[in-house]
Each structure stands twice: as structure tokens, then as C-alpha cells.
Structure 1
Amino acid sequence: MEKPTVAHMLENAVSAVPDSVFLHEGPKNVTFRELDNVTDQLATAFIKDGLRKGDKLGIIALNQLEWLYTYFAAMKIGVGVVALNVRYRAAEFEYMLNQSEVKAIVSLNELGDFSYSDFFEGFKNKIPSVEHYIFMGEGFNGSRSFVKMLDEPAANQLLNEAKARVRPTDTALVIYTSGTTGKPKGAMISHNSVIASAKAQMDHFGIMEEDVTIGSMPLNHVGGISCCVTVVLLSHSSVVLVPAFDPDEVLEAIHHHKATIFGGVPTMYRMLLNNDKRKVYRLDSLRLCFAGGSNVEPELCELITGALPNARLSNLYGLSETSGACVLSKSTDDIEKVQASIGVAIGDFDIKVVSEEKKTLFNGEIGELAVKGACVAKGYDNMIDETKESFGHKGWLYTGDMAYMDDEGYIYYKGRKKEMIVQGGYNVYPVEVENILVEHPEVSMAAGFGVPDDFLGEVGRFYIVLAPGARLSEEELKNYCAGVMADYKIPRQFVFVDDVPLTPAGKIQKSLLKEQYFASLQ
């Protein structure tokens, strides 16, 4: 029997619990049956617009119903969703939309003081593959209205023909993860891989129909679409959509909906539990809290367990390349184990630790973490060499993360082999930022790395060498960054220097810069 697709999982939910609420958004409640009907209509509209299996559709939106309507409609007809961050600007949009050859964009028309419709109207010539612009509000002349597309009557014959062509191995999602070469890489997550990761997480945590999960992790990230929404879909439970993480909104959502599950990165927990309003709300309904990334450090463990005594605390480790979770704490782990280890492999996934030569290391030896199993993504979209490097070894994904394993299979995370900075829960790669910085006419060289920060965990510190005769202030450089990159990537620290150390080959010697910085703190 062929493995199921995301659309099959929705059909199963509609068959089992048609009138159970799947999605909560403010005062709106959407049942599984209602979602199925709405997405049939939207899928029909997509087909009539010429979208076919294998095409790509970009989504630019917050955690909202329209995002999930678009996603499930696309899943039904085999269109891959390119999940884009609302914070992206010109540099990211131009690269990602062209690199993944997006054919249609579904977008907010504006957010804050930024108009996506105005932006894309003037940007169309730089993204020639995009044929359709669909806005959740007023767009430009020639664009489509998302609301009007929802009025399209479902065409059963067209839909059934399209649905029959979708396979579990087809690309469901493309989620971009920045590369150490400076080129973001689009992880191709299949229907099969996202379902495999979510099912393993659901089974491991024992998630039930009665559970209510807070959906504040972004849907353009596996933390939102896989670890939250797909788990909820498979378990026939419900999710409360929070547009973007806001401590007050999350606290209100937990209280009002008597939420049982919350997941986030450590920064989110700090913002939530250090909030002055926390004691106004009842949080005792939470039975499970999981933290993504490295193991939860002792101070934060104490804060979480003290504030949420009814909740079991778990670590969650996963990547875009593993389609979501692949390692979780055990339910029997005490708080000391949660502080020390990120957990064990879940489902039937295999984990090993390897040397630089990709040889399996003995337990206790630190090396690179490798993952194998149905959760592993297909590779990187339109990047053959990068796919071979990370995915091309007998089904093993080499994560670039350093760890060791003990005799019981517990994994102990030791840091990143790559240069990634985790700034407030967002992944930032220095080379990508450096490449954008040196495009400024007054910047000659740029070199950055992560430094500790009490609140955000880590922030980017970038050394700037200006062009001869240039006079550029830190404020001017930050304003430039704000116009061309997502705000979470903007360096928090700029250091203007006359020169930077170079290797004999002429490359910037970042290791020496880091040594000099940390030595200065002693």
C-alpha cells in the first residue's frame, strides 16, 4: 500500500472527526470539514489559473488561516509550497523566488508600513518565473484577490484528476535554510517526510484528540508547519494560531483555550515567563512544553518548571532537512537529563555520530550528527552539489551539528560545525550577511561571527573595513541592512576597523578575530 500524502491525512481527519475544530484564529473556529471544503474551492481556483503538479507557490503571511488554506489547497494538487518569511526583503525575495522558480505568490498586501503589493509591482521584472500575484487585500492592477478565489465553486472532476497525480515522494514544502557559502538552500520536504517526522513526534509525546496546541512558531519554519500543524492534523486535535510570537497574546491564548501543549525556542520561554502579566493568566492546563534547539540550560529549566509545574519539559531537535523533529527527550527523563541531553532518536529514525571522514565514532566521542530515516528531506532544490554533500551518503543526512552519544542512545549536543548564529531563535549565517554588506558601495570587507548575549542567546558581531575615503556610520549601515534583508539578520554589533587578519590565501581569518574578541573580555 502506498504511503499517504498530506491531503490523505486531511481526508482521514474529515472521515473520523469532521466537525471537530482544527484551527482557532481569534473568534474564528474552523473544523476539519470546513477546511476541506474551503481548500477544495481554492485548489480549483489554482488549477484554473494554470497551476499543476510540480509547480511552486510562494506564501508570504503570518500564522493565519489564509496561510493554511493555501497550503492544504496546494497539497491537494501537488503544488510545492515555498514558505517565505514576512521579514524578507529585496535580497531574499530575488534569490529565493528565482532559485526555486516560483510560479505564483500568495501574499499579505501589507504588514506594518511595508506594502508587499507596491513592492512586487515594482519588482516583477526581477522575478520572471512568477506569473500570478495573489493578495490578501488590495493588490496592483493585474493581480488576483485571495478572497474572490475562495468564492470559486469546487470542480470535482478537475480536483479528482489533480489529486490522483500526487505522490508521497512529491515535494510538499521548500523551506530555505541559509548556507555557509552565503547561498540559502531550499530543503525539499516531501509529503512522506513531513508526515513521518510529525507522526514520530505525535507517538513519542502521546498527543491526543483532546490536546490544544499553541501555534506561535512561524508556519514558514518546520517548528510551525511540521512540529505543530502536521502533528495536530495527524492527532485530530486543535491548534490556536497566534499571528506572530507575542508574549501577551500567547499567555491569553493559553488561558482562554486551556491549551495543553506549547513549543518554542528558549528566547520565547524567557519572554513569556518573565512577562509581568504572567500571573494574571492560568497556565496550569499545559501538560507538555518542548524547547527547540540545544538542550535547555539549567537556569531556564528552573524558570519553566517553577512557572509551569503541571507541564513535562522536553527538548526537541530537528532541522528543515529532517522535516521537523527527529530527536526528543524521553517522557521519563528527569530535569537533570533534560538539562544535559537533547534526547534520543524518535520513531524508527537512526542516529549516529561520525568523524570528518564520515566514519562512525564510538559512544562518548564528539563528531558530526548524522540522521537516517523517512523524515529526511529529498535534498536541496536545484542545488545538486550541495545535495550530494549533505544527503548523498547511503541515505544519511549529515547535519553539521556536533554531538556525542552515550551507551543508552542519549545525544549530547556540543555546538555547530557550521558558522550559524542563533539570534533570538532565528538562524543567521554570517557569510550570507557578509555578502549583502559588501554590496554597499562604501564597504570593502565584512566579517562576522556570533557572540553571547544575555537575552537573545547570541548576536552577530560584524567587523567592517570601509572603502578608501568612505565615511559610513553605524546607523547608516543598519538602515541599509533594514532595506535589503530580514530584520532578524541585521547585525546587532558593528565594529569599524582599518583592516582584518587574512590567511595566506587572502581569506579573512575569522578564527583570529574571534580569539582577539574573546581575549579582550578576560
Structure 2
Amino acid sequence: MSATVPAAFAESVARHAARTAVVGEDGVSLSYAELDARRIEAARALLALGVQHGDRIAIWAPNGVEWIVAGLAIHTLGAVLVPVNTRMKGQEAAYILERSGARVLFCAGRFLNQHFPSVLGAHRPAILEHIVVIGEAQADDFTWPAFVARASACGVDAVTEASTRVRPDDRMDILFTSGTTGHPKGVVTNHTQNLRVIAAWSAAVGLNPDDRYLVVNPFFHSFGYKVGWLAGLLAGLTVLPHAVFDAAAILQRIQRDRISVLPGPPTLLISLLNDPARAHTDLSSLRATITGAAAIAPSLIERTRAELGFKVVLTGYGLTETCGVVSLCDANDDAETIALTSGKAIPGIELRSVDGDNRPLGPGESGEIVVRGYNVMQGYLDDEAATFDAIDADGWLHTGDVGHLDERGYVRITDRLKDLYISGGFNCYPAEIERIMAAHPAIAQVAVVGIPDERMGEVGKAYVLLRPGQSLDEKTLIAWCREQMANYKVPRQIAFVDALPTNPSGKVMKYQLRKP
């Protein structure tokens, strides 16, 4: 297996040149040879903009063919890919662009009823030199076609030379994950560790060149990017990006495009199962899915097999800090194992539960889950203190998740040391949401917790203490939150309280807020 993305993709192109690599939602289809030509063209254009090895290049756009082309071009030059969540508002995106030092941004034009360059607007960091607009652009935007036209200023040989200089331990990407401080942290990983993780995941799912992989998981997330389109292309199959989750549209694509691989959070599976159109949709092409990121009932696994027709149904566990994957179930595991555990560590990775003194616990004994191996991040970007807090002296990554391993080594996540909750597959960090909400002029104090939700797994509930003389209602505050933060972070319930429960040191006791 090649140890860099450009080398691995070159091997895939050599093996599958005439096969279909990607099919866009608009029906545009590219063979592996054609996708390779687009990759080289985009890399030439980046060189013409002055991009060099190690430069950070961001992408803030929905799933699509151009996202893949740009991503491959960035990897080809040994630049560092920085995905940005499309649900973020201008201030949130600007923080990531500033923190990462991104010189170029590939950006959606009009998406989700907003013009993304305008949303960034006044928040644009000074270091950001170019914004390349993908899709519906405005008159003064630097468009994708205009960007590609810059390729004429740079020869193919320069791309080839840059590609050969990419090393296995070069930074491949920086994915930002929020934390208890309320500000996102940049997770740095390299080429070789990501490729090893992708290979392990692809083997578990059984990816093969005959598969047609519908990638609904967003490309800004490891699930949609690393074990999404990149895993698909390295396996030689056909990748079909899908920009916006809509159960009816997905059912139509399954039937029309003969989709065989469709991973996603439990929300996706539940939505497909509950959609009335499922009864008269041909789902016979479906072969494999993998889910996780929320509690799952064994009945959902059984229904996914029986009613959606998946032959392979897996669950897994991972973090951004582990290139997206730690553990996976086996295709032959029973429904209870798949639903109630997150599988066993992928090959070459150690997994254990430890007590408060960092001592290993036995089967069934609950403690913090820690991980050690090639998948553990290089560290948090320019943050030695946070890296030191996360990875101990023996190389164990402390996940902040609580759980236990059984006699087989299968892990079950039961709780979280941190306050993180997962809504529809997205990590939500209360400290970040609280920091944004605290800026509201009527709010004196706010505490956010995750509460169970049948469809989303969990949603946020905010307990709000108002400033003296101020008034606010739930509907108005939720609407304000939607303007300030990504939609998945917006609390779905607001409770106005006279006081928040605190301990003697003044810290809010969130376990009391979580009580029914």
C-alpha cells in the first residue's frame, strides 16, 4: 500500500482508468482517468496561485465533485487540507481559517439560502489571499472556472515534481473539533496513518470496485471525507456525492443509481425506514452500511437488514483525533453485539478502559476509554498544552468517553467524561454553545446539556438565567441562536430558570440538569 495520498490515488487510476470514479448529483460522470486530469489541472492552478508544500488550504462547501477534485489537488502538492463545516456561520468559519492560517479557501457560492463569501464578509482573516467560489456565484466572485483557467500558467511537470516530494509523515489535514474550552482545536494527522485507517475500514466494509458508494455524510467530517470519498476512490469504486440529507431524494438515488454502500448515523437509517416512499422503492442493490455515533436499539439493526436489505450492517467508534476510526464490529456479529457495542479495535490499535489513576480495568469494569497506536493524531495545532492533556507519556489518547470492554475486547461506550453530546451524528460541545449564547444581551448565565431525542439521538436543552429586568421567550431565543451558530448546535428546548444548580466552587452541576 502506498504511504501518501497522491501515490495511492495514482495506483488506483492505473488500475481503474476507464471505470467511473465519480457521479455528481447533476449526473456529471468522470472516469478515473478524467478525474485524474481534473486533479492535475486544479493542482496546476493552485501552483499558479503560489501554493507551496505545507500551505493550509480550506474547503467550505457541500459534498460535490469539485470538493473531491480540490481535495485531491491539495494532497497532490503536499499542502494541508482544512475542511470547514458548512453549517458554520461567518464568525465560526473565520476562526478556523485564522487559526489554521489558510491561504486559499474553496467556498460554496449560494448554499442553504446563503451566499457563503458574503457570510464570511467582514470576518475574513487578513491571511486569506484567495476565495475560489464553487457553484452559484455572484458577479464579483472568483469562480471555479476562472480558478481552473489559471492552470495554463503552470506546467504538468511542476505538479509531478511537487507530488514526488510528499512524504508519508507530512501533514495531510487539520480537522477542527470543539472542546471544553469553547473554541475548536485543530487535529493534525499525516498521510500514512490516515491511509492505514482507511485500509482497515474498507476491509471491514468489504469495499470493492463493483460498489457504488453514496456519500451523504458531509465531506468536512472524517466519515464523509476519509472513509467516504477518499476510501471509495482508493478502492476503485464509483463515488456519488450527495449534498443535502433528504430521505426521499436518497431513496430515489438508491433506485436510480443502484447504490450498494450507504453509511450514516442512525438518524439516516431511521429516516429511510420511516419514509412512506420506501415501500415502493427498489432497494435490492444495497449491500453495506456502517453506523454509530449514538445509542442504537438491536431492533434497528434487524430492521436495517430486513427492511432496507443491507447484507452487511456494522457499528464502530472513532474520534477526529484517531483519523476517524478506533473500533469496528465484524460483518458476522449478531444484532445485539452490533447494536450494543462499537466493535473491537482495528488491527494494530490498542484499546483499554482505565480508572482515575490510569490503571487498566478488567472486562466489564467501567472507566475512561483510552487508545494507543498509529491512528492517534500528531497533536493539536499549535497547542502543546492541549496535546499533553490528551495524550499521556505512554502514548495513550484519553478520549473522555466512559465505557468498558468485554472478554472479546468489544467496547461499549456508556457515558462521557466531558459534556459532549451527539445530535444527528454531529458532536456538540456545550461550552462552545454556551459561549455563543452568553453574548445575548438578555442572558446572564446559560448551561446546555444533551437530552434524549427519538430521531436525532440527542438534542440540546439550554437552561437560561436572564439578566434583571430582561424578558425573552423560547421561540425568539432559538431563532437568535440559528443566526449565530451551526443549526445542529442550536438547542431544541429552552428552560428559563431563576437559578442554576452549582457546587460550592460555583461550577454548574450539569448532572442535576440532566435528570428527567
* TM-score of the superposed pair, with normalisation by structure 2: 0.95
SS in 2 for 1:402: strand
Match of 2:283 in 1: 283
Moved more, 473-482 or 84-93: 473-482
Match of 1:40 in 2: 40
Match of 1:379 in 2: 379
> Match for 2:96: what amino acid?
M
- The 3 A distance-change label for structure 1 pair 470 and 245 is same
SS in 2 for 1:192: helix
The answer to whether the Cα contact below 8 Å between 2:89 and 2:120 also exists between their aligned partners in 1 is: no
Match of 1:314 in 2: 314
- Encode CA deviations 1:463-493: one digit per residue, 9 max, x unaligned: 1111111122223222221222101111001
- Structure 2 residue 257 is matched with structure 1 residue 257: yes
Q: How does 1:262-273 map to 2 (within 5 A)?
A: 262-273=262-273
Moved more, 205-214 or 5-14: 205-214
- Structure 2 residue 20 is matched with structure 1 residue 21: yes
Residue 393 (structure 1) shift: 3.2
**C-alpha separation in 1, matches of 2:77 and 2:265:** 33
SS in 1 for 2:325: strand
- Encode CA deviations 1:113-146: one digit per residue, 9 max, x unaligned: 211122334333xx122111111243574x5221
Residue 446 (structure 1) shift: 0.3
- Encode CA deviations 1:337-378: one digit per residue, 9 max, x unaligned: 212321111222221222222222122211122222222221
SS in 2 for 1:262: coil
- The 3 A distance-change label for structure 1 pair 93 and 292 is same
Match of 1:460 in 2: 460
**C-alpha separation in 2, matches of 1:76 and 1:43:** 7
The answer to whether the Cα contact below 8 Å between 2:292 and 2:342 also exists between their aligned partners in 1 is: no
Ranges in structure 1 where 5+ consecutive residues have no aligned partner:
none
**C-alpha separation in 1, matches of 2:401 and 2:103:** 34
Indicate the RMSD between aligned Cα atoms, in angstroms.
1.8
Match of 2:352 in 1: 352
**C-alpha separation in 1, matches of 2:461 and 2:405:** 32
Match of 1:488 in 2: 488
- Encode CA deviations 1:163-191: one digit per residue, 9 max, x unaligned: 23322222222222211221212212321
Q: How does 1:67-216 map to 2 (within 5 A)?
A: 67-124=67-124, 127-136=125-134, 137-139=136-138, 141=140, 144-151=142-149, 152-153=151-152, 155-216=155-216
Match of 1:4 in 2: 3
The answer to whether the Cα contact below 8 Å between 2:289 and 2:314 also exists between their aligned partners in 1 is: yes
SS in 2 for 1:324: coil
Residue 46 (structure 1) shift: 0.9
Match of 1:506 in 2: 506
Residue 105 (structure 1) shift: 0.9
SS in 2 for 1:244: coil
**C-alpha separation in 2, matches of 1:486 and 1:225:** 19
**C-alpha separation in 2, matches of 1:472 and 1:320:** 37
The answer to whether the Cα contact below 8 Å between 2:288 and 2:313 also exists between their aligned partners in 1 is: yes
- Encode CA deviations 1:198-247: one digit per residue, 9 max, x unaligned: 10111223321111111111100011011222221221112111112211
The answer to whether the Cα contact below 8 Å between 1:118 and 1:140 also exists between their aligned partners in 2 is: no
**C-alpha separation in 1, matches of 2:143 and 2:94:** 23
SS in 2 for 1:150: helix
The total of aligned residue pairs comes to 512
Q: How does 1:349-498 map to 2 (within 5 A)?
A: 349-498=349-498
The answer to whether the Cα contact below 8 Å between 1:204 and 1:346 also exists between their aligned partners in 2 is: no
SS in 2 for 1:363: coil
Match of 1:336 in 2: 336
- The 3 A distance-change label for structure 1 pair 488 and 302 is same
- The 3 A distance-change label for structure 1 pair 3 and 236 is closer
- The 3 A distance-change label for structure 1 pair 101 and 244 is same
- The 3 A distance-change label for structure 1 pair 139 and 393 is farther
The answer to whether the Cα contact below 8 Å between 1:20 and 1:31 also exists between their aligned partners in 2 is: yes
Residue 59 (structure 1) shift: 0.8
The answer to whether the Cα contact below 8 Å between 1:121 and 1:140 also exists between their aligned partners in 2 is: no
- Encode CA deviations 1:12-48: one digit per residue, 9 max, x unaligned: 0111111111111131111221111111111111111
SS in 2 for 1:209: coil
The answer to whether the Cα contact below 8 Å between 1:401 and 1:417 also exists between their aligned partners in 2 is: yes
SS in 2 for 1:369: strand
Task: State the identity %.
Answer: 29
- Encode CA deviations 1:245-294: one digit per residue, 9 max, x unaligned: 21122112221222221111011111111100012211122121211224
- Encode CA deviations 1:43-97: one digit per residue, 9 max, x unaligned: 1111111111221111111110111111001001111111111110033123212
Residue 312 (structure 1) shift: 2.1
Residue 156 (structure 1) shift: 2.1
Moved more, 303-312 or 226-235: 303-312
- The 3 A distance-change label for structure 1 pair 106 and 139 is farther
* TM-score of the superposed pair, with normalisation by structure 1: 0.94
Match of 2:242 in 1: 242
**C-alpha separation in 2, matches of 1:513 and 1:294:** 20
SS in 2 for 1:264: coil
**C-alpha separation in 1, matches of 2:139 and 2:325:** 40
SS in 1 for 2:376: coil
Residue 314 (structure 1) shift: 0.9
**C-alpha separation in 1, matches of 2:32 and 2:297:** 38
**C-alpha separation in 1, matches of 2:174 and 2:477:** 31
**C-alpha separation in 2, matches of 1:362 and 1:112:** 49
SS in 2 for 1:439: coil
**C-alpha separation in 2, matches of 1:342 and 1:94:** 35
> Match for 2:45: what amino acid?
A
SS in 2 for 1:415: strand
> Match for 1:10: what amino acid?
F
- Encode CA deviations 1:467-521: one digit per residue, 9 max, x unaligned: 1111222232222212221011110011111221222222222223334xx2xxx
> Match for 1:479: what amino acid?
A
> Match for 1:425: what amino acid?
G
